């Protein structure tokens, strides 16, 4: 597939990789970690926010869902801006905005101010995240790229799982009354340090030639943003009956999606740079199915943390910190496995994803059984080992799937491709959270049977994981057939014909 934009890749000196690449990666991943962490860390601070600001239940829901909503809306546009303006420049702009909006959130004096701050903070994080995958595409090649994506996968997995733990620690140290402010303020010193280091370590890249207005597809950005909004808004409002009240947004989002595809194809035919070249899906091997695997897996993976928090805190009376510590084995297993899987992905390919999804399904399936049969007082200890197993499987999914999905994407569109991949994961997160939380509440609220509720919700997560496993197995079969065709062709014509 030919390059579909005119963005420039970060230069290398005499063909050698940039000597600062690993340090630059560490800095960008630290910043990306903050953005992804703020998706989940705020959950444990909600009671503190409600008492500190006198926030309403609807306002509290928007503190959580508003961040996820704007995060998902701007991912593709943020990737395109990075491809056009240069990833270093876009990274610094987005990180500065994230630090400022974190300060605004922590300093909020009322509910409305906090909601606005969270909306802006989510947009800044959404602009920041695709620069990570784009920089990895630019700075790393071959086996090193797999290792780099392994670190990225570990960052994604750890940030999702460790948020409740860090939130609980911050509240325990700073106190319940104002501890929620430090959940946001902690981003400021880390963000400033990351800014200083990024200006020194992240290599410059040339911005695309021509005017920014001519390079950015504004109509496409609006159509895609509205289409994503139509899917995510009802889902993030699920606690207030969003899917039932705003059902009409789902078919509207389909129509907007069709209009977006038509518009993008029209721009491509007219030789103008589209926001998202649809050939990413049709002419880039492995991209479409890899993005689908990521979206479906996140539907099952991301929602379990809310369900676990509800189960441990409301059902078993754990503190926020105890609840976070109970799921720490998953985070630890995911971190170690993601780093190792990143080193093995070039050798084992899609087989790692298949093995990882199988392990996740098995681990969560065992947890679903144990929470029903083990006495409530012993549940936290009983589920530690199967959660560790599920975490090891999760680490074998995220980083290899990201590497395999993006490995054949042209460098000039790496930011957009990373944004598409992340958008699918955000939509999957919204779907999974809505489904698992609805199932949990439907069973727990009538009779207070929290053990049955978490068990059935986890089985729903296993169902999503098995669906992702089917997609991964189909992709593995396709890869195997492609290798066979290639070997037959070489055998018939010789390797140089």
pLDDT of residue 365: 95
Q: Are 133 and 82 in contact (CB under 8 A)?
A: no
Q: Exposed (0-12), middle (13-18) or buried (19+): which is 230, by Cβ within 10 Å?
A: buried
Structure tokens at 330: 């998953």
pLDDT of residue 15: 56
Whether the pLDDT of residue 160 is over 50: the answer is yes
Nearest alpha-carbon partner for 439 in 452, 425, 423: 452
Whether the pLDDT of residue 482 is over 70: the answer is no
Q: Are 264 and 274 in contact (CB under 8 A)?
A: yes
End-to-end CA distance of the chain: 21
CA angle 243, 244, 245 (to 5 degrees): 95
pLDDT of residue 481: 62
Strand partners, 16: 13
- Distance CA(368)–CA(360), nearest Å, equals 12
Average pLDDT for residues 287-299, to the nearest whole number? 89
Q: Say which range, 67-76, 289-298, 320-329, 486-495, has the weakest mean pLDDT.
A: 486-495
Query: What distances in angstroms separate CA 429 from CA 84, 303, 358, one per listed residue?
Result: 28, 6, 20
- Distance CA(466)–CA(301), nearest Å, equals 12
Query: What distances in angstroms separate CA 11 from CA 1, 152, 191, 379, one per listed residue?
Result: 21, 22, 26, 53
- Which part of the chain is CATH 1.20.1250.20? 21-203+275-491
Query: What distances in angstroms separate CA 397 from CA 108, 125, 152, 280, one per listed residue?
Result: 38, 23, 12, 21
Residue with tokens 């009802």: 234
Contacts 24+ apart (CB under 8 A), 354-358: 354/469, 354/472, 354/473, 354/476, 355/393, 355/396, 356/392, 356/393, 356/394, 356/395, 356/396, 356/397, 356/400, 357/297, 357/393, 357/397, 357/465, 357/466, 357/468, 357/469, 357/472, 358/393, 358/469
Go through the chain and tell me how many residues it has: 497
Whether the pLDDT of residue 494 is over 50: the answer is no
- Distance CA(62)–CA(192), nearest Å, equals 27
- pTM of the prediction? 0.78
Nearest alpha-carbon partner for 386 in 373, 400, 403, 399: 373
Tell me what the pLDDT averaged over the chain comes to: 81
Average pLDDT for residues 212-239, to the nearest whole number? 75
pLDDT of residue 368: 94
Average pLDDT for residues 461-485, to the nearest whole number? 82
Fold of 21-203+275-491: Growth Hormone; Chain: A; (1.20.1250)
Whether the pLDDT of residue 14 is over 70: the answer is no
Q: DSSP secondary-structure letter at 472?
A: H
Phi, psi of 319 (to 5 degrees): -75, 170
Confidence band, pLDDT 50/70/90 cuts, at residue 458: very high
CA angle 117, 85, 23 (to 5 degrees): 80
Helices (H), 313-407: 320-326, 328-348, 350-373, 379-382, 384-406
pLDDT of residue 480: 61
Confidence band, pLDDT 50/70/90 cuts, at residue 415: confident
Whether the pLDDT of residue 10 is over 70: the answer is no
């Amino acid at each position: 597939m030919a390059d579909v934009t005119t963005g420039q890749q970060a230069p290398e000196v005499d063909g050698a990789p940039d000597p600062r690449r690993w340090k630059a990666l560490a800095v960008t991943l630290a910043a990306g970690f903050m953005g992804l962490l703020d998706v989940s860390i705020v959950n444990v601070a909600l009671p503190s926010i409600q008492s500190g600001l006198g926030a309403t239940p609807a306002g509290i829901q928007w503190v959580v869902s508003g961040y996820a909503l704007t995060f998902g809306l701007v991912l593709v546009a943020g990737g395109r801006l990075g491809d056009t303006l240069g990833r270093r420049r876009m990274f610094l702009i987005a990180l500065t905005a994230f630090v400022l909006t974190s300060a605004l959130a922590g300093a909020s004096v009322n509910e409305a101010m906090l909601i606005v701050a969270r909306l802006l903070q989510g947009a800044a994080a959404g602009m920041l995240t695709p620069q990570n995958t784009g920089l990895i595409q630019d700075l790393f090649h071959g086996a090193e790229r797999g290792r780099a994506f392994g670190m990225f996968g570990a960052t994604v997995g750890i940030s999702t799982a460790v948020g409740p733990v860090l939130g609980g620690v911050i509240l325990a140290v700073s106190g319940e009354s104002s501890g929620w402010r430090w959940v946001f303020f902690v981003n400021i010193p880390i963000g400033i340090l990351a800014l200083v280091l990024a200006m020194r370590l992240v290599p410059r890249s040339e911005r695309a030639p021509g005017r920014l207005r001519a390079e950015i597809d504004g109509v496409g950005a609006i159509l895609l943003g509205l289409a994503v909004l139509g899917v995510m808004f009802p889902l993030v409002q699920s606690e207030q009956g969003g899917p039932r009240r705003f059902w009409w947004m789902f078919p509207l989002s389909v129509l907007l999606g069709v209009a977006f595809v038509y518009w993008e194809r029209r721009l491509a035919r007219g030789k103008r740079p589209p926001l998202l070249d649809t050939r990413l899906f049709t002419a880039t091997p492995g991209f479409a199915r890899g993005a689908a695997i990521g979206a479906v897996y996140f539907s099952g993976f991301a929602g379990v943390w809310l369900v676990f928090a509800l189960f441990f805190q409301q059902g078993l009376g754990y503190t926020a910190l105890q609840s976070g510590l109970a799921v720490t084995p998953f985070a630890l297993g995911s971190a170690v496995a993601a780093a190792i899987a990143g080193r093995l992905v070039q050798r084992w390919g899609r087989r790692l994803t298949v093995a990882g999804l199988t392990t996740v399904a098995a681990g969560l399936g065992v947890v679903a059984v144990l929470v029903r049969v083990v006495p409530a007082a012993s549940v936290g200890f009983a589920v530690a080992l199967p959660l560790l197993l599920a975490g090891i499987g999760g680490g074998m999914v995220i980083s290899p799937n990201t590497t395999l999905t993006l490995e054949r994407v042209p460098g000039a569109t790496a930011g957009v491709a990373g944004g598409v991949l992340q958008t699918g994961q955000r939509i999957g997160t919204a779907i999974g959270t809505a489904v698992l939380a609805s199932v949990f509440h439907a069973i727990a609220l009538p009779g207070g049977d929290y053990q049955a509720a978490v068990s059935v919700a986890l089985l729903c997560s296993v169902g999503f994981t098995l669906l992702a496993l089917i997609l991964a197995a189909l992709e593995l079969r396709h890869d195997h057939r492609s290798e066979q065709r290639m070997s037959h062709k070489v055998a018939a014509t010789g390797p140089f014909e």
